[in-house]
Amino acid sequence: MLITKKITINCPIKEAYNYLLDFSQIYEWDENVEEAQRQDLGKIQVGSKFNLIYSIWGKKFKLQYELIDLSEKSYLHFQSLSNNFCSDDKIIFEDLGEKKTRITYKAKITLKNKLSHFLLEIFMKKSGEKIIKKIKTCLEKKESNYNKDRSLNLVNLSYRFSKKGWNKRKKSFTMLPSIKKKILITGPTSGIGKSAAYTLAGKNCDLILIARNEEKLESLKNDLKQKNFSQELSSYVCDINDLKKLKKVCQKIEADGHKIDVLINNAGALYNEEKLIDGVERTTITHVFAPWFLSLNLLGQMNKKSCIINVSSGGMYASKLSLKELKKSKSPFSGSKSYSQAKRAMEIVSSGLNSELKNNDIRVHTMHPGWADTPGVLSSLPGFYKVTKRFLRTPFQGADTLVWLALSNPKDGGEFWLDRQIQKKHLFDSTLNSKGSYLKLKNFIESHILNLEK
């Protein structure tokens, strides 16, 4: 079965070619692809491989595509072979002048099962038209819709946070920028942080990694190198709950001469047991104090037009800020409630810092990854995990908005994001911030840190 589609786009040929050369971006323009990642992280060339999860009629297939031929700004040829499936994709580029490009997309698909082949032919004829139109949208529309999404509510919340919600929303995604940046990530050895690290490595970004587990950190670095990652790669071992050690790491980063474009405060945990660190609940230290402390201590290393991204959670919707509960949770201790309270505080901190750092030309964003299948969710919420496992997003899907924010750094800052779209910060009037909430929270954090430094 051969499908051929042509379209003219208002985009320079070089830009169109470079975008489609990175086949890991296929999930933006083919709605049937739920996930796509680079297998090797070096220069994309003949022999480069891409791993895809393709969904059709409710079934998922793991596919590997290989770039088997190319001609600069003219031609790309990808191929996927498996026991029951063969796909041969050719993309031809023609420069029409005046920043216009004609793209011809040819897909030849073969299945061993003749009945499946007949059904697939019907499916692909419809799908092919959608694909070529979405390529045009991705390349012509450079900026996603920054208007606030006001549709989130208690009725659709579970759907919106699930992988089905992500798959529906990604139909509106446009081209992910491919801009080399130096990015610092905390908590990069598992889950959302690890997925983000690999995707950003595939965008040729320089990486600075901070993790508490040295063995896992070294394993991550070795794997990146084995996948031919050749950009700058630095790492520091530190438990972010230890603010004194975290300060030493900040000093070492400065001494090493790093200049940072993006700081991602991703490290976090939902603790099932109460523990105070220097008189404050450790959940608060992890999700509020440490991101604040790291952000302010690295200001001197942040470049102009840089950004800070705080990884939050939809769990914050359940809480109104309480300094008393941030310091010590109500009895009996609830890890979920403590986590929710800390994430509410993180959002308030992000918004406040964004206002304060405007003169430094630094933006602060907060994002929610949705409900993702990560080791943290499995260990801290086993009951929730058991019930929702088949609805959970993959780490890749959860990390998509994090990666998008890092590479696009949307204007203004101070917003709360889900699936590349601004969200409401409150679902209930009862959680609205009281007047002066940020200043009170700021004083609470600073007074504690000041006591530590005495």
CB proximity list for 296: less than 8 A, separation 6 or greater: none
Alpha helices in 203-332 (DSSP H): 214-226, 243-255, 282-284, 290-297, 323-327
pLDDT tens for residues 28-69? 999 999 999 999 999 999 999 999 998 877 788 899 999 999
276-277 and 206-211 beta bridge pairing:
unpaired
Residue ranges in the chain modelled with pLDDT below 50: none
Rounded to two decimals, the pTM is 0.93
pLDDT, residue 119, reads: 67
d(CA 102, CA 92): 8
| SS3 assignment, position 439 | helix
Q: Could you give the domains of the chain? A: 2-140 (3.30.530.20), 157-453 (3.40.50.720)
Strand partners, 55: 60
pLDDT tens for residues 286-316? 999 999 999 999 999 999 999 999 999 999 9
The answer to whether the beta carbons of residues 32 and 53 sit under 8 Å apart is no
